[in-house]
Amino acid sequence: MNYLIGAFKPACNISITFADGKNRKQVPLKKENGQTIMVPLFQSQENISGKISIEPVLGKKVEHNGVKIELLGQIEMYFDRGNFYDFTSLVRELDVPGEIYERKTYPFEFSTVEMPYETYNGVNVRLRYVLKVTVSRGYGGSVVEYQDFVVRNYTPPPSINNSIKMEVGIEDCLHIEFEYNKSKYHLKDVIIGKIYFLLVRIKIKNMDLEIRRRESTGSGANTHVETETLAKFELMDGAPVRGESIPIRLFLSPYELTPTHRNINNKFSVKYYLNLVLVDEEDRRYFKQQEITIYRLQENS
Amino acid sequence: MMLSGDEDEEKWLAEGIAGVQHNAFYMHRALDSNNLREALKYSAQMLSELRTSKLSPHKYYELYMRAFDELRKLEMFFKDESRHGVSIIDLYELVQHAGNILPRLYLLCTVGSVYIKSKEAPAKEVLKDLVEMCRGVQHPIRGLFLRSYLAQVSRDKLPDIGSEYERDAETVMDAVEFVLQNFTEMNKLWVRMQHQGPGRVREKREKERNELRDLVGKNLHVLSQIEGVDLEMYKENVLPRVLEQVVNCKDELAQYYLMDCIIQVFPDEYHLQTLETLLGACPQLQPTVDIKTVLSRLMDRLSNYAVSSADVLPEFLQVEAFAKLSNAIGKVIDAQVDMPIVGAISLYVSLLTFTLRVHPDRLDYVDQVLGACVKKLSSAPKLEDSRATKQVVALLSAPLDKYNDILTALTLSNYPRVMDHLDDGTNKVMAMVIIQSIMKNSTCISTAEKVEVLFELIKGLIKDLDGAAQDELDEEDFKEEQNSVARLIHMLYNDDSEEMLKIICTVRKHIMTGGPKRLLFTVPPLVFSALRLVRQLQNQDGDVAGEEEPATPKKIFQLLNQTIETLLYVPSPEMALRLYLQCAEAANDCDLEPVAYEFFTQAFMLYEEEIADSKAQVTAIHLIIGTLQRISVFGIENRDTLTHKATGYSARLLKKPDQCRAVYACSHLFWVDDQDGIKDGERVLLCLKRALRIANAAQQMANVARGSSGPVVLFVEILNKYLYFFEKGNTQITASAIQSLIELITSEMQSESTTLDPADNAFFASTKRYIEFQKKKGGAMGEKYDPINV
């Protein structure tokens, strides 16, 4: 048995450590298997550096055709499982072919890496960044080790951020005017607004504000659209009369939002909508959906 | 099995309470372990029970109170940052993450209250935010309770003057602003309840609304408790804002309740200084609102205030409270076209009560009120509504009660005009009230002018009003009414004879319109009143000599003559006769022989022509004899004529005993026991003898007709007359005549045919005892009696 076990075991252990691993912020990342692990956080244009150490198992020597480290930015569509599309791929050769007898350490560095897209875990699509170390071997297969990390990109507050204001209605039935204070919100933002009832001829039971995420993947005939309701926030209880003005104050922080992603590498988009829903006493729903842009604001800024 | 509505509700309530308790249990555990997250979670779940729509306000309140108690514990926890480690500002955000609005807002209010206490933000800002956010609950019952909770937790945290939350002078306004806004929103919700749900349960809904009204009114109470709300602010801000809401909500129930609330919770002084604004709102209310009650209460309060201290009265004058109230009432009545007349009248009653209490000296005000009332009444047909009539009576009685003096009422020009609008029955009742007031206070009405007004007032009693149905009159009531009028006539008096005469003429003018039935009651007091004047004049005679005195006895007698004459048409000759005789006697006292003679003539003529009943004749003749006996003014000739007539009539009475008695009574006409009275002994004797003859004849007639002799009593009576004149010194009456009369009687009494009446026996016996007594007394009288043996 030992032999068998030995046969499937990789010939060496590879570990990847980041240069500033102690101080760098760690964020949770959900793995494919459902587990959540803590991984370091980067943003675009950062230097990603560290060390690789390779330690042969049980003092055996490891023959190899070279050691390399890659920094990959991948998009994975779930309906096209296993097919990764690398939008970023950087390689550093760490060693020429040879043999490793004992633990060996290689420093590596990718400087000012362009990582335009954020890590994203959606329903149908995943965008991830990973460091991949490969010890190439002629036989017995190569030894490969991955290290995930998360990329988040911060956006300054937009210079133009108009409010959303709209008058909608059903003729002779319901007429409302609503206003959200902005069209672009950062992740910890608060939506402030109000709904003004111009005409109410139906018996409204309540009114909710929903935050919906629309994830579309693929293109053309292969487009998949998935919509999730991330927040359902009751704005009003009971039936208003004409002239009532109902306040909106919705804190975004409790919800697991991401920034809006538009056409990421022609592969997918993630958009956010505010959906105002009025429900009448017969449980009929009247709604109006408005897109909002969500961005990530530098937290200390 | 179907459950009835009530059972269902009980069940739902029980479920709700169970839900609250269940979640409260976990909340307590979280609080004990200082676990904020769990505490928020379970408190939100607990509060979710309040989202129910199934409970009536009453039951909902029960549930609310349970949750309320639990929230107090949560508040304690929030207060202690060391227990949960979250700053109050973060906490304020944190509770807003709750997805359901109702729990969210309850929690927000709870944290908000702690937030204000922490003073990390101005109270003003927090309050403003809370009251604004609460708009999200538009369901009437849930909204009302939520806002009521807000009002409750914020009560002691308003930035009032002197409060620890006050930051600068401006903040009182913020407190007011907050309460006003909460009030406005609550009222809107409350009013809206009415329009929700199907129409058939309207009544139930009204009842439910009524149960909730104090939640709304509480805000006004809070407002009134804010120290910083001084008169200025009340006038400029609070009242106009509250009234605006009241007027605009256009809801009957709310308008009534809130107006009443305003009146009850704010100080009197404020009301007085803002009367115009407050009253200005009244005509703008819905036509169905019971404004009269509202205004009555206001006036009650104000008048209580006015009498509470003399210092405040000038304020009333200064703000022209009366004019404003009066004006407002007019406007309300104009605005509420459908207001029943009773409503309008009761408004006037309230105003009048106010006036009487606050401005007792301003009769013009009282008259003004009455005038307005007349105006209102004349726009409608005669009052039919009994409640309205009652109010009019109250209106008219109020000044009487207040002044205890009809004289005051008589100066009110509109008083009689109001009475004109009463139906006949009520008119009489009112007239009686007036008379009773006069009687009770022994008011003396002393000028003809007032008498005129007074009689105009009580004309319902004085004459038949148009269309009054005669047959409906209750005889007893009628008598009582007329007796009252009679008593009233005696209350009309003036020492000045001239004025008194005028009064008499006025009264006469009025009572003459009364018709036969009334004259019987009203003429006698008038006659006596006039005779009193005559006697008064007679006493003054010396004083006013030489002056041209229009009120002479002669003139009065003429008037009396005419007055009494009317009784003939009643017809009531007996009464007329008595009055003539009274007049004759008065004329005698005035030395007016022709007048006295004239009256006697009238009396005799009446006797001859009108008095046919034999009993009445007997009475009449005795009256004539009695009066004539006392009259001294006549000369011999006149006297002879009259006495002759009297004796003649006496002898012509129908029944013998009556004849006998009248004739012996006539004997007194010839013997007046005065110093210079006539003393014609011979004619006395003649009369007595004639009486004896008649008595004899009566005796014989009785024998023939019934087989038994008549009563001896006539003889005994004649004997007594004999004794009288004997004692008075009539020389024609001798002891022997008496002696023989006694013997006659004795023998009559012993005769077998005589039926003996024990009373007659006793009469005779005592007469004899008297003679014995006189004999034994000795002296001149004893001597005189001496020859008589019994």
What is the interface pTM, i.e. ipTM, of the complex? Answer: 0.89
**Closest alpha carbon within chain B to A194:** B136
Residue with tokens 């304690």: B76
Are A247 and B133 within 8 A, CB to CB? yes
What is the topology classification, in CATH, of domain A164-295?
Immunoglobulin-like (2.60.40)
B713 Cβ contact list (under 8 Å, min separation 6):
B757, B759, B760, B763
- Which residues of chain A have a CB within 8 Å of the CB of B101? 206, 234-237
Are A237 and B138 within 8 A, CB to CB? yes
3-state class (DSSP) for residue B296: helix
Q: Tell me if chain A has a CB within 8 Å of the CB of B97.
A: yes
CB A238 within 8 A of CB A96: no
**The amino acid at B604:** F
Q: Please tell me the distance from the alpha carbon of residue A258 to that of residue A255, in angstroms, as a whole number.
A: 9
Considering only CB atoms, B100 lies closest to which of A234, A249, A254, namely A234
> B761: which 2 tokens?
């026996």
Mutate to test the interface with B, among A195, A234, A252, A278 (most CBs of B within 10 A): A234
What sign results for the dihedral spanned by CA atoms B166, B172, B178, B182?
positive
For residue A178, give the H/E element and its range. strand A174-180
The contacts found for B326-329 with CB under 8 angstroms, 24 or more apart, are: B326/B351, B326/B365, B326/B368, B326/B369, B326/B372, B327/B279, B328/B275, B328/B279, B328/B280, B328/B282, B328/B283, B328/B295, B329/B295, B329/B372
Q: Between these two residues, B635 and B212, which has the higher pLDDT value? A: B212
Q: What integer pLDDT is reported at residue B197 of this predicted model?
A: 64
Mutate to test the interface with B, among A211, A249, A255, A280 (most CBs of B within 10 A): A249
Q: What integer pLDDT is reported at residue B545 of this predicted model?
A: 44
Q: What integer pLDDT is reported at residue B708 of this predicted model?
A: 64
Residue with tokens 């290290």: A147
Q: Tell me if chain A has a CB within 8 Å of the CB of B99.
A: yes
Are B99 and A235 within 8 A, CB to CB? no
Are A237 and B51 within 8 A, CB to CB? yes
* Shortest Cα distance, chain B CAs vs residue A50, angstroms: 39
Burial A136-150 (b: 16+ CB within 10 A, else e): ebeeeebbebebebb
What would the mean pLDDT of B744-756 be, rounded to a whole number?
74
What sign results for the dihedral spanned by CA atoms B94, B100, B103, B106?
positive
Q: Please tell me the distance from the alpha carbon of residue A66 to that of residue A137, in angstroms, as a whole number.
A: 8
- Measure the CA angle with vertex B657, ends B653 and B658; round to 5°: 35
Are B99 and A231 within 8 A, CB to CB? yes
A118 Cβ contact list (under 8 Å, min separation 6):
A127, A151, A152, A153, A258, A259, A261, A296
Instruction: Count the Cβ atoms, other than its own, within 10 Å of residue B70.
Output: 21
Q: B42: closest CA among B63, B32, B20, B27?
A: B27
- Which residues of chain A have a CB within 8 Å of the CB of B142? 237-238
Instruction: Count the Cβ atoms, other than its own, within 10 Å of residue B587.
Output: 27
Q: Tell me if chain A has a CB within 8 Å of the CB of B93.
A: yes
Q: What is the pLDDT of residues B590-626, one digit of tens each?
A: 888 888 888 888 888 888 888 888 888 888 888 888 8
Q: What integer pLDDT is reported at residue B93 of this predicted model?
A: 95
Are A237 and B104 within 8 A, CB to CB? no
Residue with tokens 């008037």: B559
Q: What integer pLDDT is reported at residue B550 of this predicted model?
A: 64
CATH architecture of structural domain A12-151 = Sandwich (2.60)
Q: What integer pLDDT is reported at residue B546 of this predicted model?
A: 44
Q: Is the pLDDT of residue B96 over 90?
A: yes
B433 Cβ contact list (under 8 Å, min separation 6):
B393, B396, B397, B400
Are B140 and A237 within 8 A, CB to CB? no
**Closest alpha carbon within chain B to A232:** B99
Mutate to test the interface with A, among B138, B139, B188, B196 (most CBs of A within 10 A): B138
CB B243 within 8 A of CB B293: no
In the DSSP assignment, the letter for residue B234 is: I
Q: Please tell me the distance from the alpha carbon of residue B143 to that of residue B135, in angstroms, as a whole number.
A: 8
- Which residues of chain B have a CB within 8 Å of the CB of A233? 99
Residue with tokens 């009333």: B316
Total CB pairs under 8 A between chain A and B: 54
* Shortest Cα distance, chain A CAs vs residue B135, angstroms: 6
| Pair type for strands A285-295 and A184-186 | parallel
Q: What integer pLDDT is reported at residue B2 of this predicted model?
A: 45
For residue B718, give the H/E element and its range. helix B713-728
Residue A136 has phi, psi (to 5 degrees) of -80, 135
Q: Is the pLDDT of residue B209 over 90?
A: no
What sign results for the dihedral spanned by CA atoms B727, B729, B735, B737?
negative
In chain A, count H helices and then E strands: 1, 22
Q: What integer pLDDT is reported at residue B547 of this predicted model?
A: 47
3-state class (DSSP) for residue B709: strand
Q: A105: closest CA among A141, A133, A147?
A: A133
Lowest average pLDDT, out of B121-130, B262-271, B383-392, goes to B383-392
**Closest alpha carbon within chain B to A203:** B196
Are A237 and B97 within 8 A, CB to CB? no
Q: What integer pLDDT is reported at residue B643 of this predicted model?
A: 85
Q: What integer pLDDT is reported at residue B3 of this predicted model?
A: 47
- Residue A170 forms beta bridges with which residues? A174
Q: Between these two residues, B199 and B379, which has the higher pLDDT value? A: B379
Q: Please tell me the distance from the alpha carbon of residue B74 to that of residue B111, in angstroms, as a whole number.
A: 9
Q: What distance separates the 2 farthest-apart alpha carbons in chain A?
A: 84
Are B100 and A251 within 8 A, CB to CB? no
Query: B9 falls in which pLDDT band (50, 70, 90)?
Result: confident
Domain spans in chain A, listed from the N-terminal domain onward: 12-151, 164-295
Write out the DSSP string of B36-102: HHHHHHHHHHHHHGGG-SSS-HHHHHHHHHHHHHHHHHHHHHHH-HHHH---HHHHHHHGGG-SSHH
* Shortest Cα distance, chain B CAs vs residue A254, angstroms: 7
Are A247 and B135 within 8 A, CB to CB? yes
Q: What is the pLDDT of residues B450-485, one digit of tens each?
A: 888 888 778 777 777 655 555 556 778 888 888 888
CB B383 within 8 A of CB B422: yes
CB A58 within 8 A of CB A2: no
In the DSSP assignment, the letter for residue B569 is: G
* Shortest Cα distance, chain A CAs vs residue B432, angstroms: 59
Q: What integer pLDDT is reported at residue B293 of this predicted model?
A: 87
Q: Is the pLDDT of residue B123 over 80?
A: yes
- Which residues of chain B have a CB within 8 Å of the CB of A253? 97
Q: Tell me if chain A has a CB within 8 Å of the CB of B143.
A: yes
Q: What is the pLDDT of residues A100-158, one digit of tens each?
A: 888 899 999 999 999 999 999 999 999 999 999 999 887 778 889 999 999 999 999 99
Residue ranges for chain A with pLDDT beneath 50: 1-6, 301
Are B97 and A239 within 8 A, CB to CB? no
Q: List for chain A the helix, strand, coil content (%; round to 5).
A: 5, 60, 35
**Closest alpha carbon within chain B to A233:** B99
Are B100 and A246 within 8 A, CB to CB? no
**Closest alpha carbon within chain A to B188:** A241
Among A132-146, B42-56, B449-463, B754-768, top mean pLDDT goes to B42-56
Q: Between these two residues, B494 and B407, which has the higher pLDDT value? A: B494
**The amino acid at A7:** A
Alpha-carbon Rg of chain A, whole angstroms? 26
Are A249 and B192 within 8 A, CB to CB? no
Q: Please tell me the distance from the alpha carbon of residue A149 to that of residue A83, in angstroms, as a whole number.
A: 20
Instruction: Kindly report the pTM of this predicted structure.
Output: 0.74
| Pair type for strands A224-237 and A190-200 | unpaired
For residue B685, give the H/E element and its range. helix B681-706
Q: Please tell me the distance from the alpha carbon of residue A50 to that of residue A183, in angstroms, as a whole number.
A: 41
Q: Tell me if chain A has a CB within 8 Å of the CB of B134.
A: no
Q: Tell me if chain A has a CB within 8 Å of the CB of B95.
A: no
Query: B103 falls in which pLDDT band (50, 70, 90)?
Result: very high
Q: B687: closest CA among B730, B655, B654, B729?
A: B730
Q: Tell me if chain A has a CB within 8 Å of the CB of B192.
A: yes
Considering only CB atoms, B139 lies closest to which of A238, A241, A253, namely A238
Q: Please tell me the distance from the alpha carbon of residue A47 to that of residue A39, in angstroms, as a whole number.
A: 16
Q: What integer pLDDT is reported at residue B601 of this predicted model?
A: 87
| Pair type for strands A36-42 and A143-151 | parallel
Q: Spell out which chain A residues touch chain B, with contact meaning CB-CB distance below 8 angstroms.
A: 206, 231-241, 244-247, 249, 251, 253-254
Sheet containing A104-110: give its strands across: A12-18, A48-56, A104-110
> B387: which 2 tokens?
């409640």
- Which residues of chain B have a CB within 8 Å of the CB of A245? 135
CATH topology of A12-151 equal to that of A164-295?
yes
